[in-house]
Amino acid sequence: MSDSQAERNYEAYKESFQTDLERDHLGEVVLLRDCAVVALFDSEADAYNAGIQKFGIGEFSLQRIGAEPISLGIFSAFM
């Protein structure tokens, strides 16, 4: 069984992007897909809406830069 999109993206964030993003974009929200940074946003709502519009439910993940992974509650079941 393969890891979920969110799990793969979080590992990529930690390994490849975290240091630079925390230095330059602390507190912003990053939209990730297929282990790549898609865009940066000021709020989770804006990032989530952009992810839904571009990729659909379950095809992306969000990470607040400098924080623990964001929980989407019930919506995480669809990711």
pLDDT value for 3: 80
The residue range of the domain holding 60 is 5-78
Q: How many domains does the chain have?
A: 1
pLDDT value for 19: 95
DSSP-derived secondary structure letter, 65: T
Could you tell me which of 5, 1, 23, 20 has the C-alpha nearest to residue 69? 5
The pTM assigned to this predicted structure is 0.81
The pLDDT tens digits of the residues spanning 1-52 come to 458 898 999 999 999 999 999 999 999 999 999 999 999 999 999 999 999 9
Q: What is the 3-state secondary structure (H, E, C) of 10-61?
A: HHHHHHHHHHHHHHHHCCCEEEEECCEEEEEECCHHHHHHHHHHHHCCCCCE
